[in-house]
Chains A and B, each alone.
Chain A
Amino acid sequence: MGDQKKIEQIEAEVKEEFSLFDSWDDKYEYIIDLGKKLLPLEEKFKIDENRVRGCQSTVWLVADHKDGKIFYKAESDAVIVKGLISMLIRVLSGQTADDIINARLNFIHEIGMTTHLAQTRSNGLLAMVKQMKNFALAFKLKQAAAINN
């Protein structure tokens, strides 16, 4: 495995891919396709503790860490949300806790998905980003505690 690309680098790639689409239909078609291709989460993870609150659809999110990097897995019962998760995983999974915590994720706005970040009760994206960052923060705190001990 080569060096992990930086978050901004992946964001730029996503942006470029989206710039190829002329219409919203095409964008959604692509996101739906990503959603369909997202690897299913093992059933054992689909429990209440792993649910992301604040989504109209059901979203489960789990995180793991290896060699100082954090890896995410997630699934939803709604396919567009799954597509959005897939993009977030692509950008954030395999990054360091600090990079995840500091990620500005401007690409979401730049590809026109801001509506999914709006503070409405139906959105889940904001809640997912928050949860992903929380995992990174928790990991970092745990690391710090381990060093101090």
Chain B
Amino acid sequence: MIEPVTTIKKGLNIDAIRSQFPILNREVKGKPLVYFDNAATSQKPQCVIDALVNYYTHYNANVHRGIHTLAEEATLAMEKSRDAAQEFINSESREQVIFTKGTTEGINLVAETWGRQNIGAGDEIIVSNIEHHSNIVPWQILIEEKGATLKVIPVNEKGELVIDEYRKLLNPRTRLVAVNHASNALGTINPVKEIIDAAHKAGALVLIDGAQSTVHLDIDVQGMDCDFFAFSSHKMYGPTGVGVLYGKKELLEAMPPFQGGGEMIKEVTFEKTTYNDLPYKYEAGTPNIADIIAFKAAIDFVNGIGKRNIKQYEDELLQYGTGQLKEIPGVRIVGEAKEKVSVISFIVDKLHPQDLGILLDNYGIAVRTGHHCAQPLMDCYRIPGTVRASFAVYNTKEEIDELVVGLKKAIKMLS
């Protein structure tokens, strides 16, 4: 049977991609769902859902310790996910891929282990003004404990980091620079290579929060030369509750463990415990086996389409959406950086984002409203928040048209 092809975008068959996401068939408030909250979490393709069901149906067992068949199958599948993740971000070795609950846990792991060991009174940590709270609060907890200081890279009107100011912040007391690869609130892609090189020259390490970039951009941790890189599965079509922390080997080996428990030990006596090798040293307790296994299905899904194809198509949506929204009187785009992932944040003159979000939901359109866990940024722009539409590879221009129609209606009702 020949598949019906109605929308072909430079080699991408969007209808075929959409058909892999069962949730896109549902209705919300009697209207077909338009899901534009992908920066919060993306929907899951059938292959990811199947991988979860398949694990629980056929080979559910605890990993790494059992000698029975099921345990072996589960262990093998879980470790295959690690290999896939290693390749996905081009890590030097599989041992440097540590499974976490998500980006937040990855960042907290670094703060609690490397941070507690290496940050002292008077030391400085640099973050940016467009960070998610997850990449601010762990460092605040750390500096408070250690008597260190937090410095902030400013952001310009377009939503870009002011790199000249960043360079001025670097000094011999700078121990760590923690910035995102792409901003969840605005979509800005940060010049991470430049940031990393400058930090290294100043003798500081760099943690990159890859939560928003990993689904859109090619990730090469070696090429980037970052010291730590954290990301989440659920923002890249995978299950919730899984993330990866990548770290440079010598750092991961030197750092103390994060949590104590099973799996992370070699020998335990009441006198002394020796810790397991990487990556298990940082994976105490029974891991999130099912979701880690299904995470590989998500990686395969993304690789199957190709990140560059995804980015190219999403760029088209971004451009189209930005153009369409700008034509609506009163709409102002917040964040117009030259380099962006497919996120459009906007506000409408005199109207509250929450009102717009409620009415758009009423038309079946899911957007995010509020401060997007980036209150310092909203304060900087003196706005209570924005409406954010963020696109994935399964979104279409027709859906953007729906947003435009819905938004016009909402504005009319509220004005």
Q: Is the CB of B370 within 8 A of A56?
A: yes
Q: Write out the residue numbers on chain B whose beta carbons fall within 8 Å of the beta carbon of A79.
A: 351-352, 355, 414
Q: How far is the CA of A77 from the CA of B383 in the complex (A)?
A: 12
Q: How far is the CB of B87 from chain A (nearest CB, A)?
A: 37
User: What sequence of 0s and 1s flags, for each residue 99-143 of chain A, a beta carbon within 8 Å of any chain B beta carbon?
Assistant: 000000000000000000000011000000000000000000000
| Given known contacts A28-B358, A80-B355, A122-B354, A56 and B413 CB-to-CB distance under 8 angstroms | no
Q: Is A78 an interface residue (CB 8 A)?
A: yes
Q: Write out the residue numbers on chain A whose beta carbons fall within 8 Å of the beta carbon of B29.
A: 24
Q: Is the CB of B359 within 8 A of A28?
A: yes
Q: Write out the residue numbers on chain A whose beta carbons fall within 8 Å of the beta carbon of B309.
A: none
Residue of A with least CB distance to B357: A122
Q: How far is the CA of A121 from the CA of B362 in the complex (A)?
A: 18
Q: How far is the CA of A58 from the CA of B385 in the complex (A)?
A: 11
| Given known contacts A56-B369, A57-B384, A79-B414, A28 and B354 CB-to-CB distance under 8 angstroms | no
Q: Write out the residue numbers on chain A whose beta carbons fall within 8 Å of the beta carbon of B358.
A: 28, 80
Q: In the complex, how many residues of chain B place their beta carbon closer than 8 angstroms to a beta carbon of chain A?
A: 17
Q: Is A13 an interface residue (CB 8 A)?
A: no
Q: Write out the residue numbers on chain B whose beta carbons fall within 8 Å of the beta carbon of A87.
A: none
Q: Is the CB of B370 within 8 A of A78?
A: no
Q: Is the CB of A56 within 8 A of B414?
A: no
Q: Is the CB of A78 within 8 A of B354?
A: yes
Q: How far is the CA of A44 from the CA of B414 in the complex (A)?
A: 26
Q: Write out the residue numbers on chain B whose beta carbons fall within 8 Å of the beta carbon of A121.
A: 370
Q: Is the CB of A28 within 8 A of B352?
A: no
Which of B354, B362, B409 is A57 in contact with, Cβ under 8 Å?
B354
Q: Is the CB of B362 within 8 A of A28?
A: yes
Q: Is the CB of A78 within 8 A of B413?
A: no
Q: How far is the CB of A124 from chain B (nearest CB, A)?
A: 8
A positions within 8 Å CB-CB of B: 24-25, 28-29, 32, 56-58, 77-81, 121-122
6 A-B residue pairs with Cβ-Cβ distance under 8 Å, sorted by A, are: A25-B362, A25-B413, A56-B354, A78-B352, A78-B355, A122-B357
Q: Which 10 A-B pairs have the closest CB atoms?
A: A78-B352, A78-B354, A56-B354, A57-B354, A80-B355, A56-B370, A78-B355, A24-B362, A80-B358, A79-B355
